[in-house]
Amino acid sequence: MGINYDAISGNKVQTLAGLSSLGRIAIGVTTFIRPETLPRALGLDRGTARRAAPLTRFFAAREAALGVGALHAVRTGRDVTPWLVAQAIGDAGDAVALAAATRARHIRPLRGVAFTLTAVSGVIGATLAIRALRR
């Protein structure tokens, strides 16, 4: 028996979008403050993680901005759909980049697959939320 996404009310989707946005903000702020944490979690050595810090901060800033934008839309009663679309696009880009880095063996295979699947789940979640809001 599957979940009937058509039965999820717009208010519940808005609430879930708000909670998801808080998670994005937390990830973004934490990663911005400690940019070496993400590359290390992917299995990169300390030196490479330190050198990747500026690029990691780009990711962190994007995550925080998308989270703040969606949360603002939810709290002010505005349409959160454009923010969900932007989140899905960002997550899709992350999935492609992570898959490519994993395939090229720049990051450890098991960790790369896990992070890629996490990014794909973000795309799926945002897509389902957009679908539910359009009904």
Q: How far apart are CA 32 and CA 26, in angstroms?
A: 10
Percent of the chain whose pLDDT exceeds 70: 93
Question: Mean of the pLDDT values across residues 93-113?
Answer: 96
Asked if pLDDT for residue 1 goes beyond 90, the answer is no
Per-residue confidence (pLDDT) for residue 2, from 0 to 100: 44
Query: What would the pLDDT profile of 53-76 be if each residue is shown by its tens digit?
Result: 999 999 999 999 999 999 999 999
Per-residue confidence (pLDDT) for residue 95, from 0 to 100: 98
Which range, of 10-14, 19-23, 31-35, 58-62, averages the lowest pLDDT? Answer: 10-14
Per-residue confidence (pLDDT) for residue 9, from 0 to 100: 62
Question: Is this model's pTM higher than 0.75 or not?
Answer: yes
**Sequence ranges of the domains in the chain:** 8-133
Q: What's the CA dihedral at 103, 105, 108, 111 to 10 degrees?
A: -20
Give Cα separations from 97 to 19, 79, 112, 116 (angstroms).
26, 29, 10, 8
Query: What would the pLDDT profile of 108-122 be if each residue is shown by its tens digit?
Result: 999 999 999 999 999
